[in-house]
Structure 1
Amino acid sequence: MAFLESLPAMPALALTGLLITVAIAVPTWLASIPLRDASLADRVWSAFIAVPVVFYAWHAGGDARLNVMVAITVAWALRLGIYVTVRNWGHGEDRRYQAIRERNQPNFALKSLWLVFLLQAVLGWIVGWPMLVASAPGSAPLGLWDGVGAALAIGGLLVETISDAQLARFRRDPANRGQVMDGGLWRYSRHPNYFGETCVWWGLGVMGLAAGGWTGAWALVSPLLMTILLLKVSGVTLLEQDIGERRPAYRDYIARTSAFIPWSPKREAAR
């Protein structure tokens, strides 16, 4: 690793983090080929973020701020990784990835390396930037904004955990087949799990900014990227583009329920 040793400390640390994500992506891609299941990428998405973050903390020695950030990230990663794996077990390739497969024939098996696995590896590496910023030597001491960021991140983790649990319980009941989940947190937002997810990364982004000051403002690329992905790319927009056709009852749910930020349902639509 003489090349890495020749680089300045932070670029070398960042590049190592990127190489770690690639080392996770390639074996997962190889496993996906015989299974014809590119959605395996979803099961390792949280690892793309958490494993480099743990490495950053190990390399930096870990101060109090970084330890808190890593603890939140690892808790987030374990919860999401287990949840997605259990949810998808035995169901084959997710329909979103089936659509990607159909659009990129022939030779999707090879194309999926960069279209799915390496792309997600790079995105996951970017999402982990707040912890990379906090790993830099000479970080500012703990302050008020660290408390705000930690509270926002932990609160977001609780929201997405509760909302995912509510949805899983709803789906397990055969009586709910074909029905729309509009109870619990889902009464106030059509995607409370995604809202909680964005809160996690905005909270960690604030802590990264508190560590590095305005020279570490690139920590906020992480929550900005995650917000765009969840609202416009792989989240709300993608999930709802044809759901009204597949499940007509969802149209009324859309009319009365906030898409993202939890809010009181519209009374006139609820009548």
Structure 2
Amino acid sequence: MARNWSNAVIAVLAPLPSIVFYVSFLGQYPSAREGDPLFSIWTWCYHHPLFLANIIFFLNVNVLFWLVGLLQSCHWMIDLYWTVIPVLLVHYFATHPLAEFNIWRSRVVIVLTWIWSLRLTHSYFRREKWQWGAREDWRFNDMRRQCGKNWWWISFFAVYLSQQVFLMGICMPLYIIHGKQKQINIWDFIATIICLTGVTIAYYADTQLDCFVSRNNELKRLGQPPHPTLDEGLWYYSRHPNYFGEQLWWWGLVVFAWNMGSGSAFLGALVNSLCLVYVTILVEERMLKQKYRVDAYKRYQKTTSAWIPWFKATSAREHKQT
């Protein structure tokens, strides 16, 4: 219990250096805009909003979170802050003095980002049994074992610096949306529907997965064999509907940015999707290492779409039987 509360305090205090610095900048930017040499640092912050966001990310997230992770021997905080950093970024981009945007588009995107964040934060704490930092991502554990005594410095690049590349890349649409005035149009409506659809699919997929895990835990407690595979609800049509919903959200933001005339914004979402393909492979390999579910999961793989929800395929054996 004491560790849970101490981790909660650490998590709440962690972004304060960035917030305090940025609020100080907002208080000084009128002088910065005039180029007053007494406020040269504020002048630079005024003229380089995207570069400033990356520097703040590097110092406050990469360096500070890494040091906390080393002290605790557990890099749990970056997993939690995946759900928070996009919210901080969208407000940063919207409030920076150089921001220029359609107020209604901005409000819609900010609300959508909050909805996405609340959904993912709820999913995180539900999965972690409402504990702060109870464990770190299993992929980090695997890398820790592989890297051995070198993990302390490799973790900075593998866990934190790589996250900056991914997060800043997929959040570029939030910057683009707040960098140009353009009348709201039908594409904004389409992008909104895509984002909301993605969040909804991810929420129901995670809820169904949580119910499945809870049922299996109860069966184990009663000494009964657990169900090997979740093959109902959204999981009947896709092996990873939660991943599909999450990707749909990010590609919805890309449509917002494309509508603003920035087609290159798709690069971040593309890299993120490709990385998730690799994560999907790792997850399924992990599933197949559990003996009680090997046969059932192999059948599941043969008949069920990996990401995009689709109708069941008929296996060769079933075709012969008919």
TM superposition score category, shorter chain reference: 0.7 to 0.9
Q: 1:121 aligns with which of 164, 177, 180?
A: 164
With normalisation by structure 2, the TM-score equals 0.74
Q: CA deviation at 1:3?
A: 5.1
Matches for 1:1-271 after TM superposition, within 5 Å: 2=40, 5-6=43-44, 9=47, 12-22=48-58, 23-59=60-96, 60=99, 63-88=103-128, 89=131, 92-137=135-180, 139-173=181-215, 174-175=218-219, 177=226, 179-211=228-260, 213=261, 216-232=262-278, 235-246=279-290, 247-248=293-294, 249-268=296-315
Percent identical pairs in the alignment equals 28
Judged with a 3 Å threshold, the aligned counterparts in structure 2 of structure 1 residues 178 and 37 are, in CA distance, closer, same or farther, namely: farther
Q: CA deviation at 1:54?
A: 1.5
Give, in whole Å, the separation in 1 of the partners of 2:64 and 2:127. Answer: 22
Q: Give the RMSD, CA atoms, in angstroms.
A: 2.3
Preserved contact between residue 160 and residue 197 of structure 1 (Cα < 8 Å): yes
Structure with higher RCO (Cα < 8 A, 6+ apart):
1
Give, in whole Å, the separation in 2 of the partners of 1:15 and 1:267. Answer: 52
Judged with a 3 Å threshold, the aligned counterparts in structure 2 of structure 1 residues 116 and 18 are, in CA distance, closer, same or farther, namely: same
Gaps of 5+ in 1: none
Give, in whole Å, the separation in 2 of the partners of 1:222 and 1:256. Answer: 31
Q: CA deviation at 1:93?
A: 3.1
Give, in whole Å, the separation in 2 of the partners of 1:114 and 1:133. Answer: 27
> Helix, strand or coil for the counterpart of 2:82?
helix
What is residue 20 of structure 2 aligned with on the other side?
Answer: none
Give, in whole Å, the separation in 2 of the partners of 1:26 and 1:225. Answer: 24
Judged with a 3 Å threshold, the aligned counterparts in structure 2 of structure 1 residues 86 and 36 are, in CA distance, closer, same or farther, namely: farther
Give, in whole Å, the separation in 1 of the partners of 2:177 and 2:193. Answer: 17
Preserved contact between residue 79 and residue 137 of structure 2 (Cα < 8 Å): no
Q: What letter is aligned with 1:207?
A: F
With normalisation by structure 1, the TM-score equals 0.87
Preserved contact between residue 119 and residue 199 of structure 2 (Cα < 8 Å): no
> Helix, strand or coil for the counterpart of 1:262?
coil
Give, in whole Å, the separation in 2 of the partners of 1:269 and 1:185. Answer: 24
Judged with a 3 Å threshold, the aligned counterparts in structure 2 of structure 1 residues 4 and 127 are, in CA distance, closer, same or farther, namely: farther
Q: What letter is aligned with 2:141?
A: Q
**Over residues 204-259 of structure 1, what are the superposed CA-to-partner deviations in whole Å (9 max), with x where a residue is unaligned?**
11011112x1xx22222232122112123xx3122113422323121111111100
Preserved contact between residue 57 and residue 135 of structure 1 (Cα < 8 Å): yes
Gaps of 5+ in 2: 1-38, 220-224
> Helix, strand or coil for the counterpart of 1:46?
coil
Q: CA deviation at 1:48?
A: 3.0
Give, in whole Å, the separation in 2 of the partners of 1:210 and 1:239. Answer: 35
Give, in whole Å, the separation in 1 of the partners of 2:273 and 2:198. Answer: 13
Give, in whole Å, the separation in 2 of the partners of 1:110 and 1:264. Answer: 46
Preserved contact between residue 169 and residue 269 of structure 2 (Cα < 8 Å): no
Q: What letter is aligned with 1:217?
A: G
Give, in whole Å, the separation in 1 of the partners of 2:119 and 2:65. Answer: 19
Q: What letter is aligned with 2:94?
A: A
Q: CA deviation at 1:8?
A: 8.0
Q: CA deviation at 1:91?
A: 5.0
> Helix, strand or coil for the counterpart of 1:253?
helix
| Count of residue correspondences | 263
